Chain A
Amino acid sequence: MAQTNTVADDLDVARARAYQRRRRLVLILRFALAVFIVGSWEMTTRVGCHGPDSATCVVDPFFFGQPSGIWSQLVSWVQKGTAQGPLWEQIAVTLEETVLGFAIGVILGIIFGVALGRNRLLSDVLGPYINVLNAMPRIVLGSIFAIALGLDIQSKVALAVVLVFFVVFFNAFQGVREVDRDLLANARILGASQSQLSRHVILPSALSWILASLHTSFGFALVGAIVGEYLGARKGIGLMIATAQGTFNANGVFAAMFILAVLAIIAEALIMRLENFLIKWRPNAINNPATM
């Protein structure tokens, strides 16, 4: 008995070691890939250049930027600020627009999704209009919002809301429609009123659908804020991109993109935590280490 136990222990130890080894390999390969891509980018923008004319390089850094240039752009933004004020202020403005648009869009999406999912008549009447609205390239509304709401935060929030709303709406709607009929029947037998059905059965059941939509919709909120700023603003990362474009500063565009990517990754991690917190009842709710 004791012997089989130690054998099992040995196996466990071996398995844990193999897992560690694999993990290290993955990390090393990831790092190597990044070094390779950034390195070859830097290299190709530096070799073959004749004199001051950057067009003679293998890859023209004037158009395609240069990792070292992007880095010095970031450093200069952090140290000296941007053309429209300190860097943190631009980030704060864009984040505020994104988060506000995201929150309003999510709440509206859930309310409308659940309402239409529960009410056949309402969904039959509104359904086609919502499909038409969804089929339209809504990003164009950004121009309308810029005209109607001006250069301040409102026009960007509105654009973010419009983009986020539909993603969340369709998921919430579908989530409500997919509710297990047996669970509804059971809750009714146990004594649930209509509002209790929503709270105890429909919302929890639709929650996994809604949460799944948050990942994509935060990205949409960011796009809404940036495009809104791009179309007309006094502050924000979108404006920094527009300014960089206006001065043919490719490194500036890439540097702004880098900042956005960092913001998006942080938001993604937060949403993941929220998801795991809210649906801890689901099997495998804990993330497996292979993701990210």
Chain B
Amino acid sequence: MREADAKGPAIELRGVTKRFVSPSGKSFTALRDLDLTVAAGEFCAVVGPTGCGKSTTLALISGLEPPSVGTIRVFGEPVRSVGRSVGYVFQRDAVFPWKSVLDNVAMGPRLRGADTEKANIQAREWIARVGLAGFELYYPHQLSGGMRKRVALAQTLINQPRILLMDEPFSALDVQTRALMENELLELWASTGASVVFVTHDLEEAIGLADRVVVITAGPGTVKGTYRVDLPRPRNIAEVRFQPRFIEIYEEIWKDLRDEVLVSYERSKHLVAS
């Protein structure tokens, strides 16, 4: 990571504000004055109450959405459109229903110009890695929600992105599969050195995985605080949460996060009441 520091940050958001303008002309501020820096090779988790703008932040970094104000840089270059170095696991599973598992996973390499045979060999490898060997010829509607999520994961990772954006990728999985996938992700990350922005609702997951946890305020979102997670690596997700240091960090972050969740909750109650 020292070497990474020398190269400058992988992702840099400076004073970013994002407004959505509805067709009737009303504007809604999803993010306000957000600053976020992710070092090369860093695993950064983002937590915050629902609707605070976490998914929006990822869309901005990926180049799918432009910011209203502020600058976004990836490896020092201003983001203008979707870049080649980015992988993005969406919150809603976005696998292609008309493609088999194999074709879904092979899609990245094929779109990027690899020939079918090579892409398929690679795809089979990744399908096996996410534990779906034998399901190559299934269509998404024949899979469970968790299996589709794993297809989406393989589909993203096969491109070996240097920037990996993940929006609650494991929320549909059962606890055991989830722990397996989390460990697998950590291993992959360690071997590729990608910079990860990992959005989750689950603070335990955030701390277990990340080098740094960023808490976003209730919408319009901005950074409430960032916390270093100085737990030693390699970590085993199933065990790390029992370390005393883990519990300390958890309590520290939870104090901040709880306030924001309460704000968000109070607001939604008012909305319902009015």
Q: Which residues of A are at the interface with B, using a C-beta cutoff of 8 A?
A: 180, 182-183, 185-193, 196, 200-201, 204-205, 207, 279-283
Contacts and interface: CB of A to CB of B under 8 A. Distances in A.
A281 B99 contact: yes
B242 interface: no
Interface stretch (B11-19, B90-98, B196-204, B219-227): B90-98
Interface stretch (B79-87, B126-134, B263-271): B79-87
Interface of B: 59, 62, 64, 82, 84, 86-88, 90, 92, 94-100, 107-108, 111-112, 139-141, 155-156, 159
A279 B98 contact: yes
B139 A281 contact: yes
B141 A186 contact: no
Main secondary structure of the interface of B (DSSP, over half): loop
B12 to A, nearest CB: 20
B90 A186 contact: yes
Contacts of B86: 189
A183 B111 contact: no
A205 B97 CA distance: 9
Contacts, number: 65
Given A190-B159, A282-B141, A185 B107 contact: no
B98 A182 contact: no
Nearest to B112: A191
Given A279-B98, A281-B98, A281-B141, A191 B111 contact: yes
A200 B62 CA distance: 21
B64 A183 contact: no
A277 to B, nearest CB: 13
Contacts of B140: 281
Contact of B90 (A182, A200, A280): A182
Contacts of A204: 96, 98
Nearest to A201: B96
Contacts of A200: 96, 107, 111
A196 B111 contact: yes
A189 B62 contact: yes
A204 B94 CA distance: 15
B84 A191 contact: yes
B98 A186 contact: no
Given A200-B96, A281-B98, A189 B141 contact: no
Nearest to A189: B88
A4 B94 CA distance: 41
Given A189-B64, A189-B82, A190-B155, A182 B92 contact: yes
Q: Which of B111, B112, B141, B156 has the largest count of A CB atoms less than 10 A from its CB?
A: B111
Contact of A189 (B87, B92, B96, B98): B87
B173 to A, nearest CB: 19
16 contacts: A180-B94, A182-B94, A183-B96, A187-B96, A187-B111, A189-B82, A189-B88, A190-B107, A190-B111, A190-B112, A190-B159, A191-B84, A193-B111, A204-B98, A281-B140, A282-B141
